[in-house]
Structure 1
Amino acid sequence: MLDQVRAKLDPASPEEPESTLNKPVFFISAGLIIAVCLYGALFSDHASLVFSDLQSWLLTNLGWLYMGSVAGFFMLVIYLAFSR
């Protein structure tokens, strides 16, 4: 009986926990982030123009989505604050 207990408690072969990292998602995201950072660092003048145009387009065409998201988040925060 003592041998059975020792066999169960023996740390000779501990199981390593499985990683929850989704490698394709992580490496694609990291690559895109690094690419955008390098683009901004190496071609700062052109990147400034591109990002400025992108921001203008987003605010013109998707401003309603931003306002709706802010209002929804605000209502959620108010609900959570008074729900206790």
Structure 2
Amino acid sequence: GFGPFNGQKYDANLDLDTPESVDMSITQKIDDKWTVYAGSTWTRWSRLKDITVTNSGVPAQLGGSAGPIGTITEEQNWHNTWAHAIGASY
């Protein structure tokens, strides 16, 4: 632990840009009994570069806002994705 600071609580904030997605789909009625479906979704996960949490009120003994628990960053490095679906109903 951190000695006298063990169990200490701090206020934190998180600024996060979530990825947007584009969804396309089509439905086609073949006859009175059959209908087919197809769809694709593209998601821009690359927008999520990192997750950074900023703790406020961290004492100088722990490095203040620049110390090991003042600002915590987790790199994400995600890639964009496509998802596809097909189906039919009878």
TM above 0.5, one fold? no
Which interval holds the TM-score relative to the shorter structure?
Answer: under 0.3
Structure with bigger gyration radius: 1
Higher strand share: 2
Normalised TM-score (structure 2): 0.20
Higher helix share: 1
Normalised TM-score (structure 1): 0.21
Q: Which has the higher contact order (CA 8 A, sep 6+)?
A: 2
